[in-house]
A and B are shown apart, each in its own frame.
Chain A
């Protein structure tokens, strides 16, 4: 165990935590569920689920417009959630937190905004380990503006080659886009250094934090990041809601993303004046219950403590890595020393899909396939991997069950 003090052990009672998540007591295919697909989405504690029921049962109303009491209550709850998110990530101002439908939405908002700011010959740098759906907005942006897309290469252990990144940076670089943590490999990228180097050339940086925010304490001001996006559903919150953080100065520079109610100040047929932040980017009725529940999820994570979560998860990661490597013919992809709880692996001569199918029969949920990171799979010359990803509500016993399931799959399939 890697715990520093007895206090931490006392504070972290995994059985007590598990009791907060109703789904963890499910039986799947006749076995108790072992949920190791947390990188795809996290499970939700009852307090988050209840907050959604509470909203619709007791104060459902449209926000920011109504003069009536319910509308005021809903608006207050939604804005309090925004402030919770602001404080959690240490953003300077609450209006720098824009509610989105999730990470992809946030990325597209920034890409769309930059289409007005870029010109022919400008450059955008992305990393070789992006989710491939997240590469598309930049390709579209380059097609539209004549900007050029450059790619930071990856090393064998699944880390970005920072010396190559430095080579790519120039006065023409306008935007750098990197994920904080790789969804396929779990690598934690050195984003503070990446941001610093970009700023020296005057480029803005957008970080995709979808895989990071459930594991790490993140301080937007300390990172000095220009834009940061993430999704609530990876952080014990509901699906369909996330945030785009942008420094005020940047959000003011970008044009609105969508037209609609809420984002306007005055409208005539001649001209529309846009509303102030954050409403300029929040056209239409938002996911109100989702935003409120996101705030509750953040409170929940903080009640467990992200420092405790990180320590406990590191212990799970080390234990599972060691156990998996004892299986003959098993190879782990992504072996950086800086990792979150993602283990991507293959067993020699066995298709990942077959392993996923057999372990599912034993109640273990893992992801198989290319994880939407075709460039990473091409790099390793494989068609896919089995990916097990842990959360703070998982246990060592579950890892033992998972290891036995993988061994059984190997026995059946070889």
Chain B
């Protein structure tokens, strides 16, 4: 599936909720499905420091696609990461670099991606793309 198709799918899922509580409960459930970074990879260099919740992110390239793993100590943050990884994992570096995160606004979670929100998610998206850029450069040099 393309990034756009997955985003449309998520927008569809979230449009079924009547209120914020159902939405957050769903997100908390999604957090439990997050492809977790292994404990030994929870190192300082994989830590994205937001002000309050810790976020770890790792990436591997296999068959030209990036597989991300991540974790957070805050469960709502974990839920949003799970949504992001559903969109960006198993995609090519090129597709990831060309994509945007506007769908977050459409599913009503915009406030979590505000640059002033102290949860590390903005840095997380930046880091997702930095990995994609690094893998792309590596591919081009091969």
Using CB atoms and an 8 Å cutoff, list the residues of chain A in contact with chain B: 29, 350-354, 357-358, 361, 368-370, 383-384, 412-413
Contact = CB atoms under 8 A, between A and B. Distances in A.
A29 B20 CA distance: 10
Given A354-B75, A358-B76, A413-B28, 13 more contacts: A350-B75, A351-B75, A353-B52, A353-B53, A353-B74, A353-B119, A361-B20, A361-B24, A368-B52, A369-B118, A383-B54, A412-B21, A413-B75
Contacts of B20: 29, 361
Contacts of B118: 369
Given A361-B20, A369-B51, A354 B74 contact: yes
Nearest to A368: B52
Contacts of A384: 52
B4 interface: no
A358 B24 contact: yes
B76 A357 contact: yes
Nearest to A357: B76
Interface in B93-142: 118-119
B25 interface: yes
A369 B52 contact: yes
Given A368-B52, A369-B52, A369-B118, A353 B24 contact: no
Nearest to B75: A354
Interface string B12-36: 0000000011001100100000000
Given A357-B76, A413-B75, A352 B24 contact: no
Size range of the chain B interface in the assembly: 10 to 19
A368 B74 CA distance: 12
Nearest to A370: B52
Contacts of B75: 350-351, 354, 413
Nearest to A358: B24
A353 B28 contact: no
A413 B27 CA distance: 11
Contacts of A351: 53, 73-75
B77 A353 contact: yes
Contacts of B25: 412
A357 B80 CA distance: 13
Which residue, A354, A357, A358, A412, has most C-beta atoms of chain B within 10 A?
A: A354
A232 B119 CA distance: 29
Nearest to B73: A351
Contacts of B73: 351, 383
A384 B53 CA distance: 9
Contacts of A361: 20-21, 24
Interface in B54-91: 54, 73-77
Enumerate the 3 nearest inter-chain pairs by beta-carbon distance, A residue then B residue, closest first: A351-B74, A353-B74, A353-B52
A353 B79 CA distance: 13
B44 to A, nearest CB: 15
A109 B98 CA distance: 51
B93 to A, nearest CB: 31
Contacts of A383: 52, 54, 73
A234 B25 CA distance: 36
Contact of B76 (A29, A354, A369, A370): A354
Contacts of B52: 352-353, 368-370, 383-384
Contacts of A368: 52
A353 B55 CA distance: 13
10 contacts: A353-B119, A354-B74, A354-B77, A358-B24, A358-B76, A369-B51, A369-B52, A370-B52, A412-B21, A412-B28
A350 B24 CA distance: 15
A18 B12 CA distance: 43
A23 B24 CA distance: 28
Contacts of B21: 361, 412
A353 B72 CA distance: 11
A412 B24 contact: yes
Nearest to B119: A353
Contacts of B53: 351, 353
A180 B52 CA distance: 26
Nearest to A349: B75
A352 B76 CA distance: 11
B10 to A, nearest CB: 20
Contacts of A358: 24, 76
A199 B76 CA distance: 51
Contacts of B76: 353-354, 357-358
A165 to B, nearest CB: 32
A384 to B, nearest CB: 6
A101 B94 CA distance: 50
B122 to A, nearest CB: 15
A413 B75 CA distance: 7
A382 to B, nearest CB: 11
Nearest to B77: A353
B45 to A, nearest CB: 19
A25 B52 CA distance: 30
B21 to A, nearest CB: 7
